[in-house]
Amino acid sequence: MSQGPPTGESSEPEAKVLHTKRLYRAVVEAVHRLDLILCNKTAYQEVFKPENISLRNKLRELCVKLMFLHPVDYGRKAEELLWRKVYYEVIQLIKTNKKHIHSRSTLECAYRTHLVAGIGFYQHLLLYIQSHYQLELQCCIDWTHVTDPLIGQ
């Protein structure tokens, strides 16, 4: 008798669990790297450098994958990390150091771009969730994903 899992029955979930664990490890590593950046006194000058923006974008991608791969186990935690590490901590850092940021500077422009990108991302995420789970939210939120064939999809 074989002691391993039956073929075809547990290998799929096992692969999914392994993939989920790898994703979560990558998220934790990215969070750690972002924390190292934010602990510097001059972090407000570093936060919008291309490599740091790229790291936040990578974390955002990983968190979204994790949210939809395992929504029950990791969805809430992934979204919370996404919001806090990709958007909120940057906003707080800039607000805390606003005396160092001059009007119309490249830093202020990058900050405004960050805010607009965050709004756009969350609008897109809400539309995707609504579409993915076939939710009808016309009475719950101000704008919704339109599924009326006369209006367009």
pLDDT for res 130? 86
Give, for all 153 residues of the chain, the pLDDT tens digit. 444 444 444 455 888 889 999 999 999 999 999 999 999 999 999 999 999 999 999 999 999 999 999 899 999 999 999 999 999 999 999 999 999 999 999 999 999 999 999 999 999 998 898 888 888 877 777 765 555 555 444
Residue 9, in any domain of the structure = no
List the domain range (segments joined by +) for residue 24: 16-131
Q: Whole-angstrom Cα distance, residue 4 to residue 51?
A: 44
Residue 50, in any domain of the structure = yes
Residue 151, in any domain of the structure = no
Q: What is the mean pLDDT of the chain?
A: 87
pLDDT for res 137? 74
pLDDT for res 145? 57
Q: In this structure, are residues 104 and 110 in contact, taking their beta carbons and an 8 Å threshold? A: no
Residue 63, in any domain of the structure = yes
Residue 3, in any domain of the structure = no
pLDDT for res 95? 96
Residue 104, in any domain of the structure = yes
* Model confidence, pTM: 0.82
Q: For the chain, how many structural domains are there in total? A: 1
Q: How far apart are the first and last CA of the chain?
A: 54
pLDDT for res 49? 97
How many Cβ atoms from other residues are within 10 Å of residue 57's Cβ?
A: 13
The secondary structure of 75-97 as a DSSP string is HHHHHHHIIIIIIIHHHHHHHHT
pLDDT for res 117? 97
